[in-house]
């Protein structure tokens, strides 16, 4: 009967280009030129090949001697990089062990030749046959008008799966297929049936999804997920998210959102948030105030040592608008720091700033940047008539609301009458302890508005107040 070692000696490396090598005598430490490594047992040689972290490199050791030939087929961990579809299928068919610990395939379509849809499907089936614990496949088809459907087979032993397959529609396994021990899933595809697939993952803790096409609201209901990451290309517009995840602790959302976007988030344990969302676009601006004057252009939320930090970019509409309530669109936590950038273009911003402070009434620190684009551009203000909608409601200056603000910083401050009124309102409604004003260019520290500000500061000695010129030099106003 032919021995296993004899059979192995006749097995070659995966097909591919070969080059002839001159055999060299080993220059061992004792100088006897004896190949001592090849005399090790199979298990030790396999451990050496695993350390190469590359199946192709392991296969090329077959040229050293017959002793190494075909050993790569018995590696528990296989990594392939930049291998063409047919060659990859051939190599996987030669694997001699029934179950792998790790299978990594890296051949992205934007670097290496594209796989066909059937090629990706066949690759997934081959991977399922090898049943790895750790599966990582970055290989897919290029862009098509409509993502082609590919079924994801079940992986009974997989603890971690990463599938980045280009513009394909990933569908869950046929009825009965699931992922009983899967803890981490990362998907990048044209389309992905999220809810049916994760319902077959009873141990899932981490879910990462990156999609390449516009979506209806994403629904994720999971009793086990602790970390969730949702991202897409900037030109795509998400219509909403519906998340019920009692164990969720970290939630990342990086997406352009549709004018009809809404969020339902039930995650009582969430403590780490990072959202970066562009809102609408020029033809569908989203208005967030009753007057129709101000549009929300970008929202960013992140967790820092001070708590939740919210950054909002608010500007003037360029086209047809859709009125929305900020609280309807985004389910915001208690905000510690608010960074508000307003492109006012000559209009009054006090009313809209006050509206946002009402929504974020737990805010302790406000950074207000006025006309940020004007920090490096020339002024291009619009005409603001006396009865302009930006000044509504007309009684915003005299309102009394309870704010938690302790620190305020205003950048590009010009000292206009409405800006002075807004600062008076903040001193009246909040227990301010630290105020910083950074003057706009061409604003003289001796202007009427600045002199009015100095009087306000002197009338509130409990607050530490500072005024700076455009280039950062502090103004001594006492």
Three-state DSSP class for residue 385: coil
Region 27-32 average pLDDT: 50
HSE-up (13 A, CA, CB side) for residue 38:
14
> What is the overall mean pLDDT for the chain?
85
For 163-205, the DSSP string reads EEEESEEEEPPSTT---TT--EEEEEESEE-HHHHHTT-TT--
Query: Rounded distance, CA 440 to CA 248, Å?
Result: 44
Region 259-287 average pLDDT: 88
Region 110-125 average pLDDT: 86
Region 415-437 average pLDDT: 96
Quick one: how far is CA 121 from the chain centroid? Answer: 27
Both tokens of 54, joined, read: 């590359």
Residue 249 has pLDDT above 90, yes or no: yes
Q: Would you give the end-to-end CA distance of the chain in angstroms?
A: 102
**pLDDT attached to residue 8:** 43
Pairing mode, strands 321-323 and 285-287: parallel
Greatest CA separation for the chain: 104
Query: Rounded distance, CA 435 to CA 461, Å?
Result: 11
pLDDT in tens, 14-25: 444 444 434 444
Beta bridge partners of 238: 215, 257
Confidence of residue 31 (pLDDT cuts 50, 70, 90): low
HSE-up (13 A, CA, CB side) for residue 323:
5
Query: Rounded distance, CA 316 to CA 335, Å?
Result: 24
Burial class (CB in 10 A: 0-12, 13-18, 19+), 72: buried
Both tokens of 52, joined, read: 């190469």
Region 221-229 average pLDDT: 97
Sign of the CA dihedral 401, 407, 413, 417?
Answer: positive
> Using N-to-C axis directions, what is the helix angle for 85-94 and 117-130, rounded to 10°?
20
**pLDDT attached to residue 176:** 65
Beta bridge partners of 286: 322
E-assigned strand segments in 288-402: 295-304, 307-315, 321-323, 335-342, 365-370
**pLDDT attached to residue 187:** 94
pLDDT in tens, 330-370: 999 999 999 999 998 889 999 999 999 999 999 999 999 99
Residue 7 has pLDDT above 50, yes or no: no
Which among 197, 147, 194 has a CA at the least distance from the CA of 168? Answer: 147
Of the two residues 51 and 186, the one the predictor is more confident about is 186
Three-state DSSP class for residue 279: strand
Query: Rounded distance, CA 131 to CA 78, Å?
Result: 12
Confidence of residue 55 (pLDDT cuts 50, 70, 90): confident
Question: In the chain, what percentage of residues exceed pLDDT 70?
Answer: 85
Helices (H) and strands (E) in the chain, counts: 10, 23
């Amino acid at each position: 009967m032919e021995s296993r070692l004899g059979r192995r000696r006749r097995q070659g490396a995966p097909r591919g280009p070969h080059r002839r090598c001159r055999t060299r005598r080993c220059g061992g430490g004792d100088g006897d030129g004896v190949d001592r490594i090849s005399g090790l047992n199979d298990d030790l040689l396999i451990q050496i090949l695993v350390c190469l972290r590359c199946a192709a490199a392991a296969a090329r050791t077959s040229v050293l001697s017959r002793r190494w030939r075909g050993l790569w087929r018995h590696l528990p961990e296989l990594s392939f990089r930049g291998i063409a579809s047919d060659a990859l299928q051939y190599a996987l068919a030669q694997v001699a062990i029934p179950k792998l610990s790790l299978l990594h395939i890296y051949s992205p379509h934007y670097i290496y030749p594209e796989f066909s849809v059937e090629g990706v499907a066949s690759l997934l089936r081959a991977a399922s046959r090898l049943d790895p614990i750790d599966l990582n496949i970055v290989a897919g088809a290029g862009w098509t008008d409509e993502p082609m459907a590919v079924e994801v087979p079940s992986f009974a032993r997989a603890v971690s799966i990463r599938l980045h397959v280009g513009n394909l529609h990933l569908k869950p396994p046929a009825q009965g297929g699931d992922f009983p021990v899967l803890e981490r899933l990362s998907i990048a595809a044209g389309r992905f049936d999220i809810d049916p697939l994760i319902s077959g993952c009873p141990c899932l803790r981490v879910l990462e999804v990156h999609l390449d096409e516009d979506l209806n609201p994403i629904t994720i209901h999971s009793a086990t997920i602790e970390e969730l990451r949702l991202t897409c290309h900037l030109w795509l517009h998400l219509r909403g998210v519906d998340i019920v995840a009692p164990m969720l602790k970290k939630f990342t959302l990086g997406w352009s959102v549709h004018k009809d976007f809404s969020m339902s988030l039930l995650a009582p344990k969430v403590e780490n948030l990072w959202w970066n969302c562009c809102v609408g676009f020029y033809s569908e601006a989203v208005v967030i105030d009753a007057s129709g004057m101000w549009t929300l252009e970008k929202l960013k939320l992140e967790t820092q040592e001070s708590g939740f930090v919210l950054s909002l970019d608010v500007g003037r509409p360029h086209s047809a608008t859709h009125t929305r309530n900020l609280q309807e669109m985004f389910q915001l936590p208690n905000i510690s720091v608010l960074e508000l950038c307003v492109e006012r273009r000559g209009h009054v911003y006090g009313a809209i700033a006050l509206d946002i402070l009402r929504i974020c009434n737990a805010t302790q620190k406000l950074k207000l940047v006025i006309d940020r684009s004007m920090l490096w551009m020339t002024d291009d203000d619009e005409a603001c008539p006396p009865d302009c909608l930006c000044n509504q409601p007309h009684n915003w200056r005299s309102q009394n609301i309870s704010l938690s603000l302790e620190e305020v910083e205003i950048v590009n401050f010009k000292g206009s009458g409405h800006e002075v009124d807004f600062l008076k309102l903040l001193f009246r409604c909040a227990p301010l302890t630290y105020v910083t004003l950074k003057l706009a260019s061409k604003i003289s520290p001796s202007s009427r508005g600045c002199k009015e500000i100095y009087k306000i500061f002197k009338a509130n000695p409990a607050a530490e107040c500072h005024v700076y010129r455009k280039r950062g030099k502090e103004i001594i106003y006492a």
